[in-house]
Amino acid sequence: MMPAYFFAHGAPSIVIEDNDYTQLLKNFKDHTPRPKAIVLFSAHWEESVQTVSAAETYETIYDFGGFQDELYKMTYPAKSDRSLSEHVRALFEKQGIQSVLDERRGLDHGAWAVLKLLYPDADIPVVALSVNRHLSNEQQYEIGKALAELREQDMLIIGSGGTVHNLRKLKWQSEGNDEWAEQFDNWLQKKLESWDTEALFQYHEQAPYAQEAVPTNEHFIPLLLAMGAGDANRQAKLLHRSYQYGNLSLSCWQFN
């Protein structure tokens, strides 16, 4: 059975950076069975109804500003899979989760920045999925759980976001990590490794520095979605943790 994964996508510049985290992503395909398809929840695609990509071809969306010019010339011409998009929607509907297809949307940087490092040849079909910040954490988990059977079909489920994501607190010239970010991630690690969903669903009340780490929840949601997809096994493994700009988390979790 294919594990589910959470990848932090960090700043768009990770695509051209060389560090331990980007090396992990670049080497991922060498240590993981090749998936038949990729189903990816992106923090940068928000909708009020669960939405499933179904475009014939994917436009590369540059949903960021102020970064290196070369990033705006990059493309990720991933293949789509209409039948898989419809299958994903059917799985949602089976669990009573309303969903719709979107035949126009491309891939935002929450999707393509990670995928370009994982599978640079863009030769694996991709279905992108939206997130909805207005649902409860329990509902987020159930959305991921609804897709769990895709893992048995050798499909890779990814949540792309960030456990600590507060752009107002970034330190562009920082060389050290902020203690508050590390304390939040330390708490999170303990709860994930023990699969303590009760605490995780109440992270904003229980975790230290939760308000600083998660001022808005759209980047945290993909973690719960990926975790839900791993509910059958309930084993969480931290593969990497580091930070950009003092506190922007770069973490990778495997749910198997």
| The pLDDT of residue 216 | 98
**Dist CA 157 CA 9 (whole Å):** 15
Average pLDDT, the chain: 98
**Dist CA 115 CA 152 (whole Å):** 21
pLDDT (tens digit per residue) in 163-203: 999 999 999 887 799 999 999 999 999 999 999 999 999 99
pLDDT (tens digit per residue) in 91-122: 999 999 999 999 999 999 999 999 999 999 99
| The pLDDT of residue 176 | 92
| The pLDDT of residue 172 | 86
| The pLDDT of residue 246 | 96
Give which of 228, 87, 89 is closest to 148, Cα–Cα. Answer: 228
Q: Spell out the domains of the chain, with CATH numbers in brackets.
A: 4-255 (3.40.830.10)
pLDDT band for 12, please (50, 70, 90 cuts). very high
The DSSP line for 31-81 is: HSPPPSEEEEEEEEEE-SSEEEE--SBPPBP----SS-GGGGG-----B--
pLDDT (tens digit per residue) in 24-76: 999 999 999 999 999 999 999 999 999 999 999 999 999 999 999 999 999 99
